[in-house]
Structure 1
Amino acid sequence: MIIFFSLLAVVLIAATLPLVMELLIVTSALFVPRRRTQSSPSQKLGRLTVVVPAHDEELLVGRCVASLRASAGKAAQILVVAHNCTDGTAERAREAGAEVLVYNDPKAQGKGHALRTGFAAALAAGADAVAVVDADSTVSVNFVPMIHQALSEGADALQCRYEMKSTTEKGNSGLASLAFRGFTFIRPMGRDRLGLSSGILGNGFALTAKTLREVPYEAFSLVEDLEYHLHLLKAHKRVRFIEYAIVSAELPVATTAEVSQRARWEGGRIRVAKMWTLPLLREIARGRFSMVEPLMDVAGLPLAFGVSALITVSLIPLHVARIYGLLSLALVLTHVLLAAWAGPNFFRTLRLLVMAPFYILWKFRLVPRLIRASHSQAAWIRTGR
């Protein structure tokens, strides 16, 4: 029996160690003083184009464009790429004041193709930098000015704070929003504090024209943002995190839409992990130890599955396993509390944690979908509203 428990502990510790190391790195970094940045521009940023990839978003694209216009004024061009649309997305975008590029190619499925087409059009028109905002999102008023400032200070690429808000009282949605904040705010901010690349989250990021020419956008998976960030890392490019410029979207209200969205995201990450684990290990073997954190991020279990495994480790009747499990769970709790503190309604969020076991069980129901998504090619499936 001891042999069985020992083997089980080894398997579970090996499975959870990347997640634990990732959380240890990024969470502890929040207690490190902020890094100083340049206070004056080192170069003048010329033309900025905000590319808005849109697939059947006639209901929300006008709101997105209006938000961008309020932020940009005359400081940026807004280009909506209406990709394989079957509704009035292009018309609504024009009415709101955006330039529109209609791109129809049934063979080019997925957001990555829309981004590559929009980037190419922007660069051909003379853009010095591009930013990306999804058509179902809105931005803070300081969004475009802060992008201008950061790129003028010499950043190759940047990621703004990305919030996914829950608009219902459902416990699952509130916990999903909390988990998302940990992933899109706590982790990038921790990386940035350490001088690491903060990552690209697919919405609210920006790149200079020079960066795009040196690292062409050739990412077409279900998680094209993660894939492209890994290409940037391989090319020694760092993404800065801009925490005070915010892009916001809403979690799906319908359960079926939420399930589909989570399955695509996490299944896509599994696929990228299979493709990139060995290349990242080779980079580390060559002496690039800054790639350790990206490797932990790629190889780490989703938080809900990791917590389940750590609880199991804590119950194994072996002293070392219990210490590892309990310390790791304390680290997870610290990470979650920081994410809750960074969002609205801290005490209401704490009350939602009572629902965490049910949320974890709900996530386990997604496992068959995650497996299917990890084997599928990218397809742009509009999230139901």
Structure 2
Amino acid sequence: MILGLANAEFEIVQPVLASGWITAFEWTIGMVAVTFLIPTFMLMAQCVVGSFPRRRSIDMPTQSIGRPSVDVLVPAHNEESVIGATIDSIRRQLMPGDRLLVVADNCNDGTADVARAFGAVVTERFDDTKRAKGFAVDHGLKILQQEPRDVVLMVDADCDVVDGSIDRLARLAISTDGPVQANYQMPAAQSGGAWGAVSGFATTVKNQVRPLGLHRLGYGCVLYGSGMAFPSALASRPNWASDNIVEDMKVSYDLMIDGHSPHYCPEAIVRASLPAERGNALEQRKRWEHGHLHTIATQTPRLVGSAVTSARPALLVAAIDLLIPPLALLVQCWVVSMLSILVVTWTMPVSHLPLILMTLAGGFLGFGVMTAWYAHGRDQLTIKQLCIVPFYVLSKFPLYVAAIFRRQKTWRRTDRDSANEVCA
């Protein structure tokens, strides 16, 4: 009798337990789908708005604003082969009273001598325990702040600063009283082949299309490490002195939370070539993308928390923008999640909503990237080269596995392919 009652009770409770388990599971896969839907929609919005026909910038200050005085800071580590061309592109844009300072940081080549020969003021720094770009920037800023100009402009030692860009950046930094990021172009080297072309297009989406879309939507962008301008009083406010391998991203979010979101200036152009040699390119990508993933984990909660406590929606937009991982990783994660949810939906009595949301997220991703390619990438990535994109995405898998088990934590300079790396 007692055993019969127990069996009856189990038969009644079992469907309830199963139903609760299924509901919890549906919530879990639903949250996975939403996690993809939000950043892919943001990516699509940035790419579509950033692909509209070019129009005159509404942020360009009027000529009635006087040209501010400028300090140009160039951190350099073993850059003797390229720094001369960089200094030349800067010096022809300087006015009387402006200053160009090169920080030859832990160099064991002729970087300092070449910089002096091209007319730059040079300070040499040697410290085996603090080897990263951030320390070089901090060292240079301390020297510049002794006799500050109106604006501090930071340029990497392997860049070409297009004529007129320094004037535009300086005027915009003063008129907005905030940081400004130039249009930082990194075209693929012609010798890089199809692999380099795909990498170059991915960089174009990240450095040009997405910040232009945010700019047109009325939001700020992140800083990209070169072509950055700051009002002098603001330049030293962030903590530059660190070994963070993507110090520009960290500084960007520090400034945003502090109320100084960087402005994007598409008319000011700074160029640097991506490495042509595949090993060098992978090393550079490893530093960028490992640093990006670490920044997602550490800065997203900060941005969301500050957005809530300060009631500033712009910080929430910045958090969603940060949640967009490198394109290859985003595609990999979407494919794996989509296949998993597809199998679950076919084999279990769960809602089709997560599958619908994941499909929609894939549509956002594909439409956004193809819109950016049509507007910005057809001249650098042919239709034939598009066919290798799946193989390019798969090739990045070891890089992301390494981000989990062997994340790069220290800054390492990318080897130069040749002595003529700066774009003309």
What TM-score, normalized to structure 1?
A: 0.89
Q: Which residue of 1 aligns with 2:373?
A: 340
Contact kept, 8 Å, 1:202 with 1:225, in 2: the verdict is yes
Question: 2:404 matched to 1:381?
Answer: no
Contact 1:161 1:247 in 2 (8 A): yes
Alpha-carbon distance change, 355 to 75 in structure 1, aligned in 2, over 3 angstroms: farther
Please point out which of 77, 80, 88 is paired with 2:110: 88
Q: For residues 371 and 76 of structure 1, do their structure 2 counterparts lie closer, same or farther at Cα, with a shift above 3 Å needed?
A: farther
Q: Could you tell me which amino acid in structure 2 is paired with residue 203 of structure 1?
A: S
User: In the alignment, what sits opposite 1:370?
Assistant: 403
2:263 paired residue number: 240
| Structure 2 residue aligned with 1:210 | 233
> What does residue range 1-385 of structure 1 map to in structure 2 within 5 Å?
9-10=29-30, 12-13=32-33, 15-17=35-37, 19-30=39-50, 36-37=58-59, 39-40=61-62, 44-72=66-94, 74=96, 76-167=98-189, 168-215=191-238, 217-218=240-241, 220-286=243-309, 287-315=311-339, 316=342, 318=345, 319-343=352-376, 345-346=378-379, 348-371=381-404, 374=407, 376=409, 378-385=410-417
Structure 1 residue 297: deviation in Å? 2.7
> Contact 1:45–1:152 at 8 Å: present in 2 too?
no
Quote the Cα distance in structure 2 between the aligned partners of 1:42 and 1:137.
Answer: 30
Cα distance between partner residues in 2 of 1:56 and 1:202: 18
Aligned CA distance change for structure 1 residues 156 and 10 (closer, same or farther; 3 Å) = same
- Paired position in structure 1 for 2:18: none
Deviation of 1:182 after TM superposition, in Å, equals 0.7
Structure 1 gap ranges (5+): none
- Secondary structure in 1 aligned to 2:276? coil
- Code of the residue aligned with 2:379 in structure 1: it is F
CA shift digits 1:195-249 (9 cap, x unpaired): 2112101111111112225445455411100000011011100211111211111
Pick which of 71-80 and 167-176 moved more.
Answer: 71-80
Give the distance between the partners of 1:60 and 1:250, measured in 2 at CA. Answer: 11
After the TM superposition, which of the residue ranges 179-188 and 21-30 deviates more from structure 2? 21-30
Aligned equivalents of 1:214 and 1:103: distance in 2?
21
Deviation at 1:80, TM superposition (A): 1.1
Asked if structure 1 preserves the Cα contact closer than 8 Å seen for 2:44 and 2:369, the reply is no
Q: Do the aligned residues in 2 keep the contact of 1:42 with 1:154 (CA within 8 Å)?
A: no
Between Structure 1 and Structure 2, whose CA radius of gyration is higher?
2
Look up the equivalent residue of 1:300 and give its one-letter code: I
AA aligned opposite 1:295: A
- RMSD, aligned CA: 2.8
Query: TM-score, structure 2 length as denominator?
Result: 0.81
**Take 1:82 and 1:341, find their aligned partners in 2: how far apart are those partners?**
41
Paired residues of 2:68 and 2:174 also in contact (CA < 8 A) = no
Which whole-Å CA distance do the structure 1 matches of 2:413 and 2:58 have between them? 41
Secondary structure, in 3 states, of the residue corresponding to 2:387? Answer: helix
113-122 or 9-18, larger mean C-alpha shift = 9-18
Question: Shift of residue 329 of structure 1?
Answer: 2.6
Checking the alignment, whether the CA contact within 8 Å between 1:163 and 1:181 is kept in structure 2 is yes
Q: 1:39 to 1:15 in 2, by over 3 A?
A: closer
Larger CA deviation: 287-296 vs 10-19? 10-19
Q: Look up the SS of the partner of 1:180 in the other structure.
A: helix
**C-alpha contact (below 8 Å) 1:129/1:208 kept by paired residues:** yes
CA contact (8 A) 2:286 2:408 kept: no
**What's the CA shift for 1:367?**
2.2
Q: 1:5 to 1:361 in 2, by over 3 A?
A: farther
Call closer, same or farther: CA 1:195–1:380 in 2, change over 3 Å. same
Distance 1:207 1:125, change over 3 A: same
- 2:230 & 2:398 partners in 1: Cα distance? 37
Q: 1:154 to 1:6 in 2, by over 3 A?
A: closer
1:75, 1:144 within 8 Å by CA — same for their partners in 2? no
Question: Does the 8 Å contact 1:189/1:241 carry over to 2?
Answer: yes
Percent identical: 26
Q: Following the alignment from structure 1 to structure 2, what is the Cα–Cα distance between the partners of residues 42 and 314?
A: 55
Is the 2:112–2:122 Cα contact (8 Å) retained in structure 1? yes
Which 10-residue stretch deviates more, 27-36 or 179-188? Answer: 27-36
